[in-house]
Amino acid sequence: MSELFDAVDALVASRSPLPPPEERKRLRQAHGLTLDEVAAALKVRRATVSGWESSKTRTEPRPPEREAYARLLEKLAELYPAPTDTATPTQDTAPVPETFTGAPAPTEVRTPPSSQASDAAATITEENTQTRPAADTVTAPAAASRPARTARTSPTSRRPSAKKAAKKTTADTADPRFENGPLAVVDCEDGAVSAYCVDGLVLDVPAKSLPALVDWTLTEAKLGQARLHRNGRDADPVLLITPAALERYGLPTELSQEERRAGRLKDSHKVVKQIGKAGLQLTQRGFGAWTRVFREPEGSKRRCVQLCIPAWGALPVDEWDNKNDPQLPTMHGADLARFLGTYADRVMTPRGTTAVTGLELMTALRPPTRAEKDPATGAFKPAFNDDALTRLYDVVECEVPDEHPKLKGKFARHHQRTPAEMLMEEPYNWCRQLTDDECMQPYLVAIDVNMAFAAAANGLTVGLNGPTHLTGNPKFDSSLPGSWLVDLSHVDLARVFGRTVDVDRLPSPFTPSGEHPTGPAWYATPTVAYAVELGFDVAPIEAHVRTQTGRYLDPWYKRLRDAYVATMADLGVTTDMGSQEFLDAMARSKDVDPTLALVLKAIKATAKGGIGKLRQRNRGQVPYYEPWPALERKTWRPDIRAAVLATVRVSMHRKMMKTAATADVYPVAIGTDALVYPSPGPSPLDFLPYTDEGKPVPGTFRLGVSPGMVKHQGTQTVLWAEEQFETQGGVFNVANLIKNDPTAGEGE
């Protein structure tokens, strides 16, 4: 009988009543306990306890931790009873299934009339994906919204009891086609397969095979995301498959060494054969970490499901996770759904790496084509959008990387191209020795520019068509984006501010190394325009410019800006804070919500990676001087990347000059978007210039959360820096080493 009693006691403990998440947090804080202390006592991860206290994650403790956690909260509630005017009745917030017996009556889902024209545009631009999926390059196969049809809701779905009061976190819930959100995490426990969706929704998955899982997703799951632009395409639903679900559907939990090199399962694998026998199709990339599975179209509408398999490397730690303390491998399905669902809501449905998604976001917000009605026939025909990148154009020799086919036969294989042969617009990587006066300062303080690459894209005019070659010493025109061969070695920055600025302690704005140019070199338009802004004459020798221009990246910047600012606000950092209040809030934000911290990192990596993808290099896919897949993209535009990076560097130099002229302080190192300054105190407030009214001096670096403003990255002593210089011989950059938070600057 004792065994039966033990079993009964365990069953009761598995449903130990718990107060609401807000009350759990109140009780912990009332006793002065940290998340780490509770996690250590219960032998769980810190992020797990944080999830139990969050009303957004909908995660609940499970046995045996649940009984111990309930006992802790019960003891704390005796010590710190809730105020009578705000007390919330204790309730068991464990997920309570809403069981549906039998399928509800079919619900007709209609395509909104306003989207009919864009449906036609997506149909016209299918690029043959309706009959056979194309090679899966960085640009996703063409998509269109599903047509009006009769849909059935899932006969078995589960929501936590608190779901009725929960606010939807995704914008797509207004669209009945995607009422369950953009994606789901498919997990298997005790033989039952569940799909964890956004907002705590859990769907029972009846599919017994992978083809059946794809069909269930297309017909019942109601997953996906509405287009971001009226001329764009709806996003395919994404299923994240956990290791347990991989085993359930006959897939390996890890790839063999040969499969890892190929980036895909062997075509002879039984699941790949199942897909073919079921009439489904894969792209030419096969079945890999990010896989698209196609069902034959319904009429002209594409049907596709994207599979994301983290166990195979779909979510690399340096982009999606905290490399110093990885969280994704042990994250519960509901937490994973919240993480990627929040990212999808604020950025877009993930399409691969953050870099790939960043590039896809550009196309989603600036679709290359639209539907145009023929007045004679009434039929829709494709038309190009003037504000988008619509075609492949010839490339310019000076703008391409060394391995490009354009350079075959031009240089020796290991020839080091000079600035007069190659456009070298890159971020700063500069460091100098401290002066005697600077060595007397006790600290080195690093500040970091928020979302530097995205901020540089804001308002930037870029070329939308192919290059025009200008020869015969053309006149410089700052309205024409492109590359200019010009000699800027005569530019003397001392002439700008006279003796009020020690230009020897500042890097040159014209080179990534900060060294002064020594002769003619290729520069992007923003760099040459800055020389003109400083008052110097420029005399280009030749140029490659684009005559059709536009602010192509503006909506991309705004989308990422809003995502970044919204996530920072959730972490307690808002745009209306003063400088000290901002610094304090940033210090607290690290411990607010680990899941949202990962969302923030992914947003920053999306901005940086998206710009990098504009000049994606050959990563060993093909031999030197042979074309690689990225060159087939309309968005392979190294000239646009160069313009963004030039703007980052020029913007930083402009503020450095103003700061030096105002406060007589100079950076000692710059690494990409981080600057290091000698300081009498450990805070940025100890050296950044402010007016008598306590406001930042206009034109200098300003503390704040918005992109382009700066935050505190870290502080070290000057003695530490001197030791680094002695031990490393001056071949390093201290800007890359000064970080109070190990994750500071990741993704930026």
Structure tokens at 598: 């990962």
Question: 610 vs 376, which has greater pLDDT?
Answer: 610
pLDDT higher than 60, residue 85 = no
Structure tokens at 355: 């870099």
pLDDT score recorded for residue 731: 66
pLDDT higher than 50, residue 337 = yes
Percentage of the chain with pLDDT > 90? Answer: 64
Kindly report, residue by residue over 524-537, the tens digit of the pLDDT.
Answer: 999 999 999 999 99
Helix (H) or strand (E) holding 93: none
Question: 739 vs 184, which has greater pLDDT?
Answer: 184
Percentage of the chain with pLDDT > 70? Answer: 83
pLDDT higher than 70, residue 312 = yes
pLDDT score recorded for residue 423: 97
pLDDT score recorded for residue 128: 34
The span from the CA of 560 to the CA of 451, in Å, is 9
pLDDT score recorded for residue 137: 35
pLDDT higher than 80, residue 94 = no
In Å, what is the CA distance from 384 to each residue of 370, 392, 538, 600, 699? 6, 13, 37, 34, 40
Half-sphere exposure of 116 (CA within 13 A, CB side): 8
Kindly report, residue by residue over 235-272, the tens digit of the pLDDT.
Answer: 999 999 999 999 999 999 999 999 998 999 999 999 99
Question: 17 vs 351, which has greater pLDDT?
Answer: 351
pLDDT higher than 60, residue 284 = yes
| Residue 250 contacts residue 264 (beta carbons within 8 Å) | no
If you average pLDDT over residues 164-174, what whole number do you get? 41
> Which range among 119-128, 332-341, 413-422 shows the weakest confidence by mean pLDDT?
119-128
Length of the chain measured in residues: 748
For residue 692, give every residue at least 6 positions away whose Cβ sits within 8 Å of its Cβ, in sequence order, or none.
none
pLDDT higher than 60, residue 139 = no
Three-state secondary structure readout of 311-365: HHCCCCHHHHCCCCCCCHHHCCHHHHHHHHHHHHHHCCCCCCCHHHHHHHHHHHH
pLDDT higher than 70, residue 87 = no
Question: 139 vs 218, which has greater pLDDT?
Answer: 218
DSSP-derived secondary structure for 614-661: TT----SSS-TTS--GGGGSTT--HHHHHHHHHHHHHHHHHHHHHHHH
Model confidence band, residue 3 (pLDDT cutoffs 50, 70, 90): low
The span from the CA of 744 to the CA of 447, in Å, is 10
Mean of per-residue pLDDT scores for the chain: 85
Question: 5 vs 129, which has greater pLDDT?
Answer: 5
pLDDT score recorded for residue 5: 54
pLDDT higher than 70, residue 98 = no
pLDDT higher than 80, residue 183 = yes
pLDDT score recorded for residue 25: 87
pLDDT score recorded for residue 10: 59
Kindly report, residue by residue over 458-471, the tens digit of the pLDDT.
Answer: 999 999 999 999 99
The span from the CA of 338 to the CA of 532, in Å, is 49
Kindly report, residue by residue over 717-737, the tens digit of the pLDDT.
Answer: 999 888 887 777 656 789 988
Give domain limits for the chain. Answer: 2-79, 114-373
If you average pLDDT over residues 354-368, what whole number do you get? 97
Question: Under the phi-then-psi rule, with left for phi > 0, alpha for psi from -120 to 50, and beta for the rest, what region is 555?
Answer: alpha
pLDDT higher than 90, residue 619 = no
If you average pLDDT over residues 363-389, what whole number do you get? 90
Alpha-carbon dihedral sign for residues 402, 403, 408, 413? positive
CATH class for the domain made up of 2-79: mainly alpha
pLDDT score recorded for residue 11: 57
> Which range among 392-401, 411-420, 476-485 shows the weakest confidence by mean pLDDT?
411-420
Model confidence band, residue 12 (pLDDT cutoffs 50, 70, 90): low
pLDDT higher than 90, residue 616 = yes
pLDDT score recorded for residue 477: 97
Model confidence band, residue 674 (pLDDT cutoffs 50, 70, 90): very high
The span from the CA of 673 to the CA of 294, in Å, is 42
Question: 97 vs 503, which has greater pLDDT?
Answer: 503
pLDDT higher than 80, residue 152 = no
> Which range among 83-87, 446-450, 701-705, 716-720 shows the weakest confidence by mean pLDDT?
83-87
Model confidence band, residue 394 (pLDDT cutoffs 50, 70, 90): very high
pLDDT score recorded for residue 325: 85
pLDDT score recorded for residue 533: 95
If you average pLDDT over residues 223-240, what whole number do you get? 94
Question: 55 vs 355, which has greater pLDDT?
Answer: 355
The span from the CA of 350 to the CA of 560, in Å, is 14
